[in-house]
A and B are shown apart, each in its own frame.
Chain A
């Protein structure tokens, strides 16, 4: 029991630290890649090529003045960033970084938990996390904030459905809701080959869930002056910011797990493959941000309901037919 607890605590700490490091350095990746795409250099003053920039940003966050607007709903205003970051970090617990390794004669699994409802847990917790942005927007008592929050809620409701439909197709092929089992089922052939449509659907809906360009409706600097987090400053803003990047990491890890074969790959061993693929997906998120302009709000909604949802249903239908015909 004691040994089990010790291993669990160490694993939790390691996963937490790794996740936060990735979060910190994906902000660096984002600024660097965006910079180079736009023929700039990006940050390069602090440390070698700006490598210490995330740490400098963190320190700066702590020392900024903290403002709570007069007509804000104070408890919710404080609670909102906590919900955001709490949900985002919780999701790291079920990311399967790799299979088992043997350290000092003990078999240690490279994931914290493997619940048999893993995928549903992801959907559930990420829904709870999206309350953060919505409540943050509403409670700040600012009209831009409210609009941002409303947009966030509407977008959440619309795209969560299609995301779930994409996931269902993967579950049908893999026959399990557990992330580890899904990775095991891709030992021969990755799900991206079996489920290319679900892959596209998942990426689109995932970007919408992440509130990333071209779907960053709740923020939309040009229209809403930063939307839901307009009144937030100092560490509260930083928490929102971190939650966003933590979600991005979890999204990248999920794409890797569900479609890109998780830790499977030739020559180098599991966790390396996992991180390679995950960082490729993080790079992809930045890449597409620098490529696409923001969509119009009504276009986003009609695209979600009129195209993605029927498409997702059709994909499930076809998957079912395919499985029935080939008797899988």
Chain B
């Protein structure tokens, strides 16, 4: 039963992600992407990872795709507007914030053991603590540094996109 569902949803996810590339209209491909993300979320549910599934729906199918669709729709009636930023102040504040964040990360990740739950993820562990607790424990204790580095990378990506878009103008 689960295998059948897995095959159906996996197949749909693959087909819809192909349609993302092949769809003619930009909005249609964005919608296929939403569908594909949704199917991936269903696969997570089949793997008994409800929390991940819901994050997949909220973050990817919800927030990120909403931004993309918003952007696609905006392209039709776009208004250019200059954003004035005081560069010197933002540089100082940015570097200070970066230093504080870096120190904080070092202190936390080198400091005491944050783990509330020990050992590998097993069914009994999940049963006693609940899925969300187990995932958050590993995400914010064992993998804190990679987690934060990835989030900084994503922020850098966003800023990079802005910089690139500005240079084209």
Contact = CB atoms under 8 A, between A and B. Distances in A.
Nearest to B70: A153
A124 B73 contact: no
B34 A127 contact: no
A156 to B, nearest CB: 6
Interface in A94-130: 115-117, 120-121, 123-125, 127-128, 130
Determine chain B's interface SS by DSSP, over half rule: helix
A156 B57 CA distance: 15
Given A124-B62, A160-B63, A131 B57 contact: no
B132 A73 contact: no
Interface string B12-31: 00000000000001011001
Contacts of A127: 57-58, 61-63, 66
A131 B34 contact: yes
Interface residues of B, number: 27
Contacts of B25: 73
A131 B35 CA distance: 12
Interface string B61-81: 111001101100110110000
B66 A157 contact: yes
A146 B77 contact: yes
Contact of A117 (B31, B62, B132): B132
A154 B70 contact: yes
Given A124-B58, A134-B69, 15 more contacts: A116-B132, A117-B53, A120-B58, A121-B54, A124-B62, A125-B57, A146-B73, A146-B76, A149-B73, A150-B70, A153-B66, A154-B70, A157-B66, A157-B67, A157-B70
Interface of B: 25, 27-28, 31, 34, 38, 50-51, 53-55, 57-58, 61-63, 66-67, 69-70, 73-74, 76-77, 130-132
Contacts of A245: none
A76 interface: yes
A34 interface: no
A161 B96 CA distance: 27
Contacts of A116: 50-51, 130-132
B130 A128 contact: no
A138 interface: yes
If over half of A's interface residues share one DSSP class (helix, strand or loop), that class is named, otherwise mixed; here it is helix
B55 A128 contact: no
- Which of A130, A131, A146, A149 is the most central at the interface, judged by chain B CB atoms within 10 Å of its CB? A131
B150 to A, nearest CB: 20
Given A127-B57, A154-B70, A115 B50 contact: yes
Contacts of B74: 150
A120 B73 contact: no
A179 interface: no
Interface in A129-162: 130-131, 134-135, 138, 146, 149-150, 153-154, 156-157, 160
A189 to B, nearest CB: 23
Chain A: interface size category: 20 to 34
Interface string A60-104: 000000000000010010000000000000000000000000000
Contacts of A150: 70, 73-74, 77
Contact of B61 (A115, A128, A156): A128
Contacts of A160: 62-63
A306 B51 CA distance: 30
23 contacts: A73-B25, A115-B50, A116-B50, A116-B130, A116-B131, A117-B54, A117-B131, A117-B132, A120-B55, A124-B54, A124-B62, A127-B57, A127-B61, A127-B63, A127-B66, A128-B57, A128-B62, A135-B69, A150-B70, A150-B77, A157-B63, A160-B62, A177-B132
Given A124-B62, A150-B74, A117 B57 contact: no
Interface string A284-295: 000000000000
A153 B73 contact: yes
B16 to A, nearest CB: 14
Contacts of A124: 54, 57-58, 61-62
Contact of B31 (A76, A121, A130): A76
A154 B74 CA distance: 11
A138 B62 contact: no
A115 to B, nearest CB: 6
A1 to B, nearest CB: 12
